[in-house]
Structure 1
C-alpha cells in the first residue's frame, strides 16, 4: 500500500523563454512510464506511492528538464505522508 501522495509542479526555465509545455508533457510522460498512480491537475500532478520512490522520480524529472535544454528548474512539491496508507481516491473520490 502506498504511504504518500506527492504533488509536483515543475517549472523549467529556458534560455530563450520558450514554451515550457513540451517540458511538462515530458515530465508527465515519465510519471506515466513509471507505472505510478497519478492524477494530472491544471497546475500540478499528484502521484501516489512510496515516498522514496516518488522523490527519486522527481529527481529524475528535474534531470530530464536539464537534458531537454532547461537552464534551471523550480519544482514545487507538496507531500502527504501516512505510514498507514495514502490514496488519491480517499481524498478526492467523492468529487469524481
Structure 2
C-alpha cells in the first residue's frame, strides 16, 4: 500500500517552551503551559526538558499554541517553542522507534485522561 494511503494510528508530540520574563520566575510561567496540557484531556508525560502528548496531530498542535499563549499571558516577553513529532502507521509495530517497547503497567509513561 502506498504510504499516502496508510492511516496513522498514533502521533506523539513533544514540546518545550522557553519563556523569557522581565520579572518573576521562568518556572512559574512554564507551569502555566503545563496547566494547559493537563486541562487538554490527552495522555501526557511531563519531563525535565519537555512535555510529551499523544493524540491527533492538529489537536496536539493547538494545545502547543495555547501553552505558548499561556506563557505570554503570564508575563513572558518572548517564548521559544521547540516541537518534535513522531507518527506511526499500523506497519510500524515491528520497527525500532515504537514507544510501547519496554513499557509495562508498572512503568507506563503517560497520564491517561
**Larger gyration radius, structure 1 or structure 2:** 2
The two structures, once aligned, show a CA RMSD in angstroms of 2.5
1:22 aligns with 2:28: yes
After superposing on structure 2, the runs of 4+ consecutive aligned residues of structure 1 that deviate more than 4 Å are none
SS in structure 1 at match of 2:68: helix
Q: Which has the higher strand share?
A: 1
Task: Report the number of matched residues.
Answer: 94
Point out which structure has higher relative CO (alpha carbons under 8 A, 6+ apart).
1
1:91–1:80: structure 2 CA closer, same or farther, 3 Å change rule?
Answer: farther
TM-score (normalised: structure 2): 0.71
Gaps of 5+ in 2: 1-7, 93-97, 108-113
Q: With structure 1 as the length reference, what TM-score do the two structures score?
A: 0.82
Partners of 1:72 and 1:35 lie apart in 2 by 27
Aligned to 1:9: 16
